[in-house]
Amino acid sequence: MDEKGYEVLLYLLSFIIPVWLCWAAYSQDRTILSSLSATPVLFLGIAPLWMTFAAYTCSDIFTHLKGKPVIPEASISQSTCPYQMRPEDPGIFMPAMNRIYQLDRTLLRIEIDGLNPDSRGLRFGHLTDFHLGKHCHRNFLKHAVDLIMAEKPDLIGITGDFVNFRKYMDDCFDDLAELAAPLGIYAVRGNHDYWVGADLIEQRIEALGFVLLDDKTLELHKDSHPFILSGTEQRWKKDPPDVDHFCSDSSLLKIVLAHTPDDFPLLVGHNPHLVICGHTHGGQVCFPFFGPVVVPSVYGRRYASGLFKEKESLLYVSRGIGCYPPFRMLCNPEITIVEFV
């Protein structure tokens, strides 16, 4: 466990242990107090833990209120395009709070100093984390596909976690067959795809004419002007990271598809202009002033969702389309359009 993991563990224990002790004292008619011989002993055990919990909570609230650092070369706008449930759709847990069908359309506009002017105007569509299953079903995926196609992107990137189980593959890839873009559709696989069967997912991707960027780099052209698109799946492999394929030419626009933001610190050393990924689902469950509770990342909540910058590289972490389990609170799913201006 790394330093961040120990910090999160301490945070959780500082909340859980006092609650457990108080409940034990109450439910056992205060016999726990007798075993400790004196109330001050119990107080001295609980008070530091509660103070630790309060300190971490106040720190997180302050960080959330302060907000992320302003990134002057980028702007983000969002609008919500809810999916209208149909009679045949399964019911959802706590529908008054559950946001799994409140799909956001995010427009990220990026202006990069020194970028070849010929790359300006490029529109890149991003889809990720379908997790197709019972609740994140094909009707909802079709809604997301229709929204991304309405934006007329020049190319589309898909960054993994297509299905939760193999039996949903037909539904997933039948819907994705409706995607089209002048410069092509490119994909990388996520951890769920490796669990379901990486080879099967690869066959389905290529059967649609999409390009799997399994640790590969391509030079693409918009109006005869080149830019670079790379993909990495190294996180899910046992081999050491293969980074030799990344382009170091600083004059060309460089975009990297990854499934998880955990790859970002490694990729920054190769100076991509934009790394785009998913995996975190934004944490799925968020609270006001606090944000997400749990984020599946070795960096904890650092890259939960949204736009980040390190050195000269930008990272955008999408909240994704699907979710697992099927519940979102204050954390809408999203599709993303990136426009270089």
* The pLDDT value given to residue 66: 57
* The pLDDT value given to residue 255: 96
Place of tokens 């270089």: 340
* The pLDDT value given to residue 3: 47
DSSP state of 163: B
Three-state DSSP state, 240: coil
Nearest one of 335, 307, 304, 268 to 123, comparing CA atoms:
335
Sheet holding 313-317, edge to edge: 216-222, 225-232, 254-258, 274-277, 313-317, 306-310
Taking the C-alpha atoms of residue 281 and residue 321, their distance in angstroms, rounded to an integer, is: 8
- The structure's pTM equals 0.82
All residues at 6 or more sequence positions from 251 whose CB lies less than 8 Å from its CB, including other chains? 116
Do 101 and 158 contact (CB within 8 A), yes or no? no
Nearest one of 286, 271, 272, 268 to 329, comparing CA atoms:
286
What kind and span of H or E run contains 201?
helix 191-207
* The pLDDT value given to residue 238: 62
Class of CATH domain 74-340 = alpha beta
Largest CA distance in the chain: 81
Tell me which long-range contacts 25-31 makes (C-beta under 8 A, separation of at least 24): none
Place of tokens 């919990």: 53
The torsion region of residue 323 among left (phi > 0), alpha (psi -120 to 50) and beta comes to beta
How would you write the pLDDT of the chain (341 residues) with one tens digit per residue? 444 555 556 656 666 766 676 666 656 655 544 544 445 545 555 566 666 666 666 666 565 555 677 899 999 999 999 999 999 999 888 888 999 999 999 999 999 887 777 788 999 999 999 999 999 999 999 999 999 999 999 999 999 999 999 999 999 999 999 999 999 999 999 999 999 999 999 999 999 999 999 999 999 999 889 999 999 997 777 665 566 677 766 678 999 999 999 999 989 988 999 999 999 999 999 998 888 989 999 999 999 999 999 999 999 999 999 998 999 999 999 999 999 99
Structure tokens at 218: 């391509």
Q: How is the chain split into domains, by residue range?
A: 3-66, 74-340
